[in-house]
């Protein structure tokens, strides 16, 4: 459900929630500069997120709905959005558990298997110009994963990092060489998977209901090993059980563990753009190992 046009980001989160859901807000609890927990009339709690870029809000809402449409993983329902506001279910957070991790792995495998029209395809109704975290992410499609991954996921962030001075020119050559080797490093060809796209631990919520919930997607069609590589990169409780569950449903191609670095180049460079030199060094180290 979209709200009427013209309500800007200066609106109160409670007022935005009331407008988008049709139910008065009775309580507001700010969680960050952009996120507020709002209690609606009747007692339901929702999360109200403000986005300054309309494309970011549109992309997140479309991504959540696309992931939910697969019926495989738990995703907060979208109760309404417009150009500046997104209202979703609030997920009560509990403690990570091995049993929930295995279920999550099975669900993630099924999500990936649900597929996408092409590598780089945005969610239905989602914009071409989307976001991963605070960084712009352009969803341009391509039929060949290694070439698409280099051109539309690795190299755009490398160019920006070089322009910002975060990656030095000599280091950029190492990453470019790794990109040239992607056709031989990528492993067996796979169909486009339906990716969460920003699957770091902060976007994985361990609910009190025993389910694992996924939030803040940068959803698009991609290679399924990319989601798993991000879980490896930033850590995930009971990751071994997640992987066991995943392998039960959709076994990974032989040699997948050796390709983790390939898929980590993208998130490392995104983080270099957003957070600086430390991640740039990690990206160069990974690329140097791949370029040997």
**Position 269 in a domain:** yes
Give pLDDT, residue 200.
Answer: 96
Residues 122-135, mean pLDDT to the nearest whole number = 96
The CATH number of the domain holding residue 105 is: 3.90.1200.10
**Position 157 in a domain:** yes
- Same domain, residue pair 272 and 142: yes
- Same domain, residue pair 74 and 183: no
Residues 167-181, mean pLDDT to the nearest whole number = 96
**Position 213 in a domain:** yes
Q: From CA 86, how far away is CA 3, in angstroms rounded? A: 10
Residue 157 CB neighbour total at 10 angstroms: 27
Of 34, 62, 89, the last residue of a domain is 89
Q: Taking the CA of residue 285 as centre, how many other CA atoms within 13 Å lie in the half-sphere pointing to its CB?
A: 7
Give pLDDT, residue 4.
Answer: 32
- Scanning the chain, the segments in alpha helix (DSSP H) are 13-21, 54-69, 98-114, 145-149, 155-163, 169-180, 182-185, 224-234, 239-249, 260-275, 277-290
pTM of the model: 0.94
Residue 17 C-alpha from the chain's centroid: 24
Q: From CA 242, how far away is CA 228, in angstroms rounded? A: 10
**Position 8 in a domain:** no
Of 29, 55, 89, the last residue of a domain is 89
Residues 52-58, mean pLDDT to the nearest whole number = 90
Residues in the chain: 292
- Same domain, residue pair 128 and 247: yes
- Same domain, residue pair 142 and 240: yes
Give pLDDT, residue 242.
Answer: 98
Residues 188-217, mean pLDDT to the nearest whole number = 97
Residues 133-140, mean pLDDT to the nearest whole number = 95
- Same domain, residue pair 78 and 118: no
Q: From CA 26, how far away is CA 20, in angstroms rounded? A: 15
In the predicted structure, residue 187 carries a pLDDT above the cut 60: yes
Q: From CA 47, how far away is CA 165, in angstroms rounded? A: 37
- Same domain, residue pair 78 and 102: no
In the predicted structure, residue 1 carries a pLDDT above the cut 90: no
Q: Are 190 and 119 in contact (CB under 8 A)?
A: no
In which domain, by residue range, is 200 found?
Answer: 98-290
User: So which residues are the catalytic ones?
Assistant: 198
In the predicted structure, residue 15 carries a pLDDT above the cut 70: yes
Q: From CA 241, how far away is CA 97, in angstroms rounded? A: 9
Mean pLDDT rounded to a whole number for the chain: 95
**Position 5 in a domain:** no
Residue 8's pLDDT band, with cuts at 50, 70 and 90, is low
- Same domain, residue pair 70 and 131: no
**Position 195 in a domain:** yes
Of 43, 71, 89, the last residue of a domain is 89
- Same domain, residue pair 191 and 233: yes
Q: From CA 43, how far away is CA 49, in angstroms rounded? A: 19
Q: Are 51 and 60 in contact (CB under 8 A)?
A: yes
- Same domain, residue pair 38 and 120: no
- Same domain, residue pair 80 and 120: no
**Position 7 in a domain:** no
Residues 173-184, mean pLDDT to the nearest whole number = 97
Q: Are 35 and 47 in contact (CB under 8 A)?
A: yes
Angle subtended by helix axes 224-234 and 239-249, to nearest 10: 170
Residue 3's pLDDT band, with cuts at 50, 70 and 90, is very low
- Same domain, residue pair 153 and 106: yes
- Same domain, residue pair 140 and 262: yes
The CATH number of the domain holding residue 79 is: 3.30.200.20
Q: What percent of the chain has pLDDT over 70?
A: 97
Give pLDDT, residue 52.
Answer: 83
**Position 170 in a domain:** yes
Q: From CA 284, how far away is CA 292, in angstroms rounded? A: 12
In the predicted structure, residue 36 carries a pLDDT above the cut 60: yes
- Report the domain count for the chain: 2
Q: Are 289 and 260 in contact (CB under 8 A)?
A: no
């Amino acid at each position: 459900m979209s709200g009427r046009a013209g309500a800007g980001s200066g609106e109160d989160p409670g007022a935005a929630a009331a407008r988008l859901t049709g139910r008065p807000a009775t309580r507001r609890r700010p969680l960050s500069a952009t996120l507020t927990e709002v209690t609606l009339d009747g007692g339901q709690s929702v999360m109200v997120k403000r986005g300054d870029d309309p494309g970011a809000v549109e992309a997140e809402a479309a991504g959540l709905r696309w992931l939910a449409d697969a019926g495989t993983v738990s995703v907060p329902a979208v109760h309404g959005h417009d150009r500046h506001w997104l209202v979703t279910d609030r997920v009560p957070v509990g403690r990570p558990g091995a049993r929930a991790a295995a279920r999550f792995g099975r669900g993630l495998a099924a999500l990936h298997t649900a597929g996408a029209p092409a590598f780089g395809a945005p969610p239905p109704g989602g914009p071409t110009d989307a976001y991963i975290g605070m960084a712009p992410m352009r969803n341009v499609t391509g039929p060949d994963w290694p070439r698409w991954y280099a051109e539309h996921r690795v190299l755009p962030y490398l160019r920006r990092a070089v322009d910002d001075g975060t990656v030095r020119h000599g280091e950029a050559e190492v990453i470019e060489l790794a990109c040239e080797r992607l056709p031989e490093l990528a492993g067996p060809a796979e169909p486009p998977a339906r990716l969460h796209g920003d699957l770091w631990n902060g976007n994985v919520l361990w609910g009190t209901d025993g389910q694992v919930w996924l939030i803040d997607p940068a959803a698009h069609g991609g290679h399924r090993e990319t989601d798993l590589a991000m879980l490896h990169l930033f850590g995930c409780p009971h990751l071994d059980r997640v992987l066991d569950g995943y392998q039960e449903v959709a076994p990974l191609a032989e040699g997948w563990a050796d390709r983790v670095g390939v898929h980590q180049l993208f998130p490392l460079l995104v983080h270099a753009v957003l957070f600086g030199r430390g991640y740039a060094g990690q990206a160069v180290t990974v690329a140097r190992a791949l370029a040997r």
